[in-house]
């Protein structure tokens, strides 16, 4: 009750300085809270999912609401949404299967992924040079920024800048919501 | 695919080289393009056979580099254009420069009509394919990004060919982005060296992502605790806060389009806050 006006006033303060950031902030907060509420509603009906699963779902909701708030203009938002949708689909397919089957599938997939990663690393290590460290780090950055694998360095940096801004906003908003909801 | 179909009768359509160059550089501000044009015309006039081939090729590559310079990205199609252009310029080199000049007028007409007919038929005839290209190329450089690169000039002692110019522009762009990133990441301003800066950026992103994970766990516990006592849901102050926020959300949803039209966002934010207060009390 006390924190809410705080949130609103900070948003309006931001509005004076940086309008675009504040609008994405408001959009993200609203979307995220709506999805949280929905999750809570569904939690009343079926309370059999584990805490870990639920926190994963909240994380996915946070990321997807951020991407929705940013809009489809940014490459990273598009990539993030695509990734989330794909993983949600996979999750649905997996829940339809029996648990054992799903576990074996997951293990197999992880193994495959590990193999793939190793292959890529070996290939890239062949290209030696003075700026090997730089290349390595750009690759790391590519892994961190969603959709970064398909970008050139220039747009990668641009997207990274925007992504960092949005992540910071997201963390701030989530912190505010957690503070507001937690008991004192 | 193109060259065998181009015979003498359709030859007027087969030389986009000089025409497209003249179309691409109407400003005359870019030294590379203008000099390229002059160079090409000179070569055409001097050696109507044999040697013109190599010069045509070189000009083609040069032009490609400048064009990519202008509208960076999407090099695939341009490369194809240039390659076909090379072939056509080879054919041009076997003729005299006079014919080349005469055919320009005819060719513009032809290209215009073909372009009006639409691109669906373009693949049927090779001549129409060639005729479409100059229109494409002429439309490309007129885009605004051209202004970004015109200030890229070689300083004393720097290489002046278009490749190094483009590379320098790219490097400048990257370092510009790097400084923007440095401003965003706290404590990154004092770090010197690209590798260290990148390290800082990566660490910052990772920490933010970890924070998101942690916060989602925290929110999960809070959310589930509220699930445990649904009976007093209506009375708990936290839940009331949540509902107030959500009511504001509904308000936001209904008002958003109108306010975007009006452009007065500060006002409606205050209105929202006031409305939620009323609901709370």
Q: Does B237 touch chain A (CB under 8 A)?
A: yes
What does the pLDDT read at residue A110? 64
Query: Do B223 and A182 count as a contact with CB atoms less than 8 A apart?
Result: no
DSSP B107-163: HHHHHHHHHHH-TTSTTT-HHHHHHHHHHHHHHTTTSTTHHHHTT----TTS--SHH
CA distance A115 to chain B (A): 24
Query: Does B184 reach chain A within 8 Å, measured CB to CB?
Result: yes
Q: What is the pLDDT of residue B218?
A: 87
Test A154 with B173 for CB contact under 8 angstroms: yes
List of domains in chain B: 162-224 (4.10.280.10)
Cβ contacts of B258 within 8 Å, gap of 6 or more? none
Lookup: tokens for A177: 């919501």
More confident residue, B129 or A131: A131
Q: At A136, is the pLDDT very low, low, confident or very high (cuts 50, 70, 90)?
A: confident
Residue A130 has what DSSP assignment? T
Q: From the CA of B278, how many Å to the nearest CA of chain A?
A: 12
Long-range CB pairs of B251-259 (<8 Å, 24+ gap) are B251/B275, B251/B276, B252/A26, B252/A30, B253/A30
Q: How far apart are CA B234 and CA B157, in angstroms?
A: 76
Query: Is the model more confident about A183 or about A99?
Result: A183
Look at residue B208 in the predicted model and tell me its pLDDT: 93
- Domain extents in chain A: 21-115+130-181
In this structure, what token pair is assigned to residue B67? 């064009």
Q: Which residue has the higher pLDDT, B174 or A115?
A: B174
Which residues numbered 5-44 in A keep a CB inside 8 Å of some CB on B? 5, 7-9, 11-12, 15-16, 19, 23, 26, 29-30, 33-34, 36-37, 39-40, 43-44
Q: Which residues of chain B have pLDDT under 50?
A: 1-22, 24-26, 28-146, 228-281
Contact yes or no for A4/B244 (Cβ under 8 A): yes
Q: Where are the beta strands (DSSP E) in chain B?
A: none
Answer yes or no: do A33 and B249 touch at CB < 8 A.
yes
Say if the Cβ atoms of B219 and A157 lie within 8 Å.
no
Contact A4 B178 (CB under 8 A): no
With an 8 Å Cβ cutoff, is B212 touching chain A? yes
Beta strands in A62-177 (DSSP E): none
Judged against a pLDDT cut of 60, whether residue A83 lies above it is answered with yes
Joined together, the tokens standing for residue B194 give 């690209």
Q: Residues A9-56: pLDDT tens digits?
A: 444 443 344 567 778 888 899 898 888 888 888 765 555 667 788 888
Of B177, B215, B280, the CB nearest to A154: B177
CB burial of residue A142 (10 Å; 0-12, 13-18, 19+): middle
Handedness of CA B177, B183, B185, B189 (dihedral sign): positive
Residues with Cβ within 8 Å of residue A129, at least 6 apart in sequence: A135
Model confidence over B179-222: pLDDT tens digits? 888 888 888 888 888 888 888 999 999 999 999 999 988 888 88
- What percent of chain A has a predicted confidence (pLDDT) above 70? 66
Chain B closest-CA separation from residue A4 CA (Å): 7
What is the number of other CB atoms lying within 10 angstroms of the CB of residue A111?
10
- Provide DSSP, A25-76: HHHHHHHHHHHHHHHHHHHHH---S-HHHHHHHHHHHHHHHHHHHH-TTSHH
């Amino acid at each position: 009750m006390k924190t809410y006006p705080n949130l609103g006033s900070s948003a309006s303060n931001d509005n004076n300085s940086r309008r675009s950031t504040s609008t994405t902030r408001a959009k993200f907060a609203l979307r995220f809270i709506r999805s949280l509420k929905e999750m809570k509603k569904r939690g009343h009906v079926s309370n059999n999912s584990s805490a870990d699963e639920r926190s994963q779902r909240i994380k996915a909701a946070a990321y997807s609401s951020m991407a929705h708030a940013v809009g489809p203009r940014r490459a990273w938002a598009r990539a993030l949404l695509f990734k989330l949708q794909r993983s949600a689909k996979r999750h649905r397919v997996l829940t339809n299967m029996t648990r054992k089957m799903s576990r074996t599938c997951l293990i197999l997939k992880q193994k495959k992924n590990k193999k793939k990663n190793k292959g890529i690393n070996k290939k890239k290590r062949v290209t030696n040079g003075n700026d090997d460290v730089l290349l390595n780090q750009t690759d790391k950055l590519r892994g961190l920024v969603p959709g970064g694998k398909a970008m050139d360095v220039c747009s990668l940096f641009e997207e990274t800048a925007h992504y960092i801004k949005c992540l910071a906003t997201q963390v701030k908003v989530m912190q505010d919501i957690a503070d507001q909801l937690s008991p004192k | 695919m193109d060259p065998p179909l181009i015979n003498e009768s359709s030859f007027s359509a087969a030389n986009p080289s000089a025409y497209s160059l003249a179309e691409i550089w109407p400003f005359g501000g870019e030294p590379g393009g203008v000099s390229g044009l002059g160079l090409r015309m000179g070569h055409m006039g001097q050696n109507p056979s044999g040697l013109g081939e190599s010069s045509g090729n070189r000009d083609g590559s040069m032009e490609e580099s400048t064009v990519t310079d202008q509208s960076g990205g999407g090099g695939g199609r341009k490369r194809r254009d240039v390659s076909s252009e090379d072939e056509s310029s080879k054919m041009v080199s076997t003729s005299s420069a006079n014919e080349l000049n005469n055919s320009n007028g005819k060719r513009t007409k032809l290209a215009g009509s073909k372009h009006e007919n639409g691109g669906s038929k373009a693949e049927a005839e090779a001549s129409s394919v060639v005729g479409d290209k100059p229109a494409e190329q002429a439309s490309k450089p007129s885009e605004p990004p051209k202004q970004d690169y015109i200030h890229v000039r070689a300083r004393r002692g720097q290489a002046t060919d278009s490749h190094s110019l483009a590379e320098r522009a790219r490097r400048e762009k990257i370092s510009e982005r790097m400084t923007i990133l440095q401003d965003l990441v706290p404590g990154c301003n004092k770090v010197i060296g690209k590798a260290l800066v990148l390290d800082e950026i990566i660490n910052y992103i990772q920490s933010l992502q970890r924070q998101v994970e942690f916060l989602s766990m925290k929110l999960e516990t809070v959310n589930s605790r509220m699930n445990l006592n649904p009976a007093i849901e209506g009375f708990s102050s936290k839940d009331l806060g949540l509902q107030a926020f959500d009511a504001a959300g509904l308000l936001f949803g209904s008002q958003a389009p109108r306010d975007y039209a009006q452009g007065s966002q500060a006002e409606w934010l205050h209105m929202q806050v006031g409305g939620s207060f009323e609901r709370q009390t």
